[in-house]
Amino acid sequence: MTDPIRPFRIEIPQADLDDLRARLDRVRWPDRLEGLAAADRSRGIPPSELADLVERWRSSYDWRAQEAALNELPQFTTDIDGQRVHFLHARSSRADAQPLLLLHGYPSSFVEFARMIGELTEPAHGPAFHVVAPSLPGFGFSTPLSCPGWAMGRTSGALVELMSRLGYERYGVHGGDIGAGVAGMVAGHDETHVIGVHVVTDPMTAANTATFIPGMADRLDADDPVDKLILERMERFTHDGSGYLAIQQTRPQTIGYALADSPVFQLAWIAEKFQEWTDVPIEPELVLTHASVYWFTGAGAGAAHVLFDQAHASDWGAPAQVPFGFSVFSADETVRKLVPAPEGAFWVEHEKGLHFPAMETPDELVGDLRAFFGGLG
């Protein structure tokens, strides 16, 4: 029996807002180290930067306004494989519109696509889309996580089922970060219905991903300038940038206590990555909206368990024989060497943007989605 699709509105109880304010009023700050430069990021997000965000969250940020804006987008939930799945579903008025599944990454949420929806569904020119943007299981309002085991393979299967329930026989898939991996696996599970897969990447993400490929370092020549740069970035990630991932991939329950109990910790956990993984700053209100979604839903712990399950998963899916498209932000020659793009694949390079192009350079991303999927039937 197919579970029903239910309309959904974000309605955070006032008691939860009051509790957040009370926790922010009594935050306990660690001692500041003497002699450490105010903007020094080598030990994590600088105290002054986080303090400014906390004060904005506490005193001037308007969650109700953000909640109302998000509720202008049609949202729904359904139960798949025992898990509540939340999703935006905005249909175009155009008869020729193509269904498009948009998949977020970590530490992001469905919110990253909110400002792109209108441009995709009702464009002034070019292709139009019926947009489906889910919260991945364990993230956002696809919580609480029903049980262990929600790695990318299980998630992709749930999303195939979602698109089937919505009645879409032919659809495209886009993703970044975890969403890129899920997008490829959706195509592998549903090759007869997926018209193409579009993913985003950047030099940092490509190098970070390379650290998990067995034997990759041995395949690179330290005397080659491009390989040397890749090796340096891999080394930097391994020794200076992978701590957030290591703890979630090994001790999600332990880090989950802090993420569920301290809004300041949850904000710091997200804001640090939004700053480090962008070259076009994301405005504070948008950072706080992501942090609020994580806080009110308890998604920090759920996301940590998903990362743990993926680290211990053996199902990487089968390669899909569908068209692939790549948009590379802050592009350089290292990405061309690291990303295994099939011959003749759609490939566009952009000077600006990094890990979160949907929020950093949304116009460029929308243009690429139109160019890639507009050429597919």
In angstroms, the CA 365 to CA 175 distance is: 11
Phi, psi of 116 (to 5 degrees): -95, -15
Please give the angle made by the CA atoms of 259, 117 and 263, to the nearest 5 degrees: 15
pLDDT (tens, 9 = 90+) of the chain, 377 residues, equals: 468 999 999 999 999 999 999 999 999 999 989 889 988 999 999 999 999 999 999 999 999 999 999 999 999 999 999 999 999 999 999 999 999 999 999 999 999 999 999 999 999 999 999 999 999 999 999 999 999 999 999 999 999 999 999 999 999 999 999 999 999 999 999 999 999 999 999 999 999 999 999 999 999 999 999 999 999 999 999 999 999 999 999 999 999 999 999 999 999 999 999 999 999 999 999 999 999 999 999 999 999 999 999 999 987 777 889 999 999 999 999 999 999 888 889 999 999 999 999 999 999 999 999 999 998 96
Specify the 3-state DSSP secondary structure of 33.
coil
Inter-CA distances, 132 with 138, 190, 240, 367, Å: 17, 16, 36, 18
* Phi–psi pair at 77, nearest 5 degrees: -135, 155
Question: Which string of DSSP letters, residue by residue, matches 200-215?
Answer: EE-HHHHHHHHTTSTT
Residue 1: the pLDDT is 47
**3 state DSSP class of 171:** strand
Q: Which two tokens stand for residue 318?
A: 């089968």
3-state helix, strand and coil shares in percent for the chain, rounded to the nearest 5: 50, 15, 35
Asked if the bond preceding 107 is cis, omega within 30° of 0, the reply is yes
Say if residues 163 and 98 touch (Cβ distance below 8 Å): no
| pLDDT value of residue 330 | 97
Nearest-angstrom CA–CA distance, 92 and 121? 5
Helices (H), 38-116: 47-59, 63-71
Strand partners, 78: 85
Angle, nearest 10°, between helix axes 178-189 and 152-165? 60
Residue type, 4: P
**Per-residue pLDDT at 317:** 74
DSSP 325-350: EEEEES--HHHHHHS-PPTT-EEEEE
- Residue 145 near residue 83, CB atoms below 8 Å: yes
Distances (CA, A) of 184 to 190, 195, 253, 322, 342: 10, 12, 28, 10, 13
One-character DSSP codes across 257-302? HHHHH-HHHHHHHHHHHHHHT-SSPPPHHHHHHHHHHHHHHTHHHH
In the block, tokens 């793009």 appear at 341
CA distance 357 to 198: 13
Q: Is 195 helix (H, G, I), strand (E, B) or coil?
A: strand
Q: Where are the domains of the chain?
A: 41-373
- Please list, in sequence order, all residues whose beta carbon lies within 8 angstroms of the beta carbon of residue 327, skipping any fewer than 6 positions away: 198, 199, 200, 201, 348, 350, 357, 364, 365, 368
> What CATH number does the domain located at 41-373 have?
3.40.50.1820
Residue type, 252: P
Q: What are the structure tokens assigned to 332, written together?
A: 């350089």
Helix or strand holding residue 19 (H, E): helix 14-25
Q: Are 117 and 128 in contact (CB under 8 A)?
A: no
Q: Checking DSSP bridges between strand 129-134 and strand 346-350, what pairing results, if any?
A: unpaired
Has this prediction a pTM greater than 0.75?
yes
**Structure-block tokens of residue 141:** 């309002």
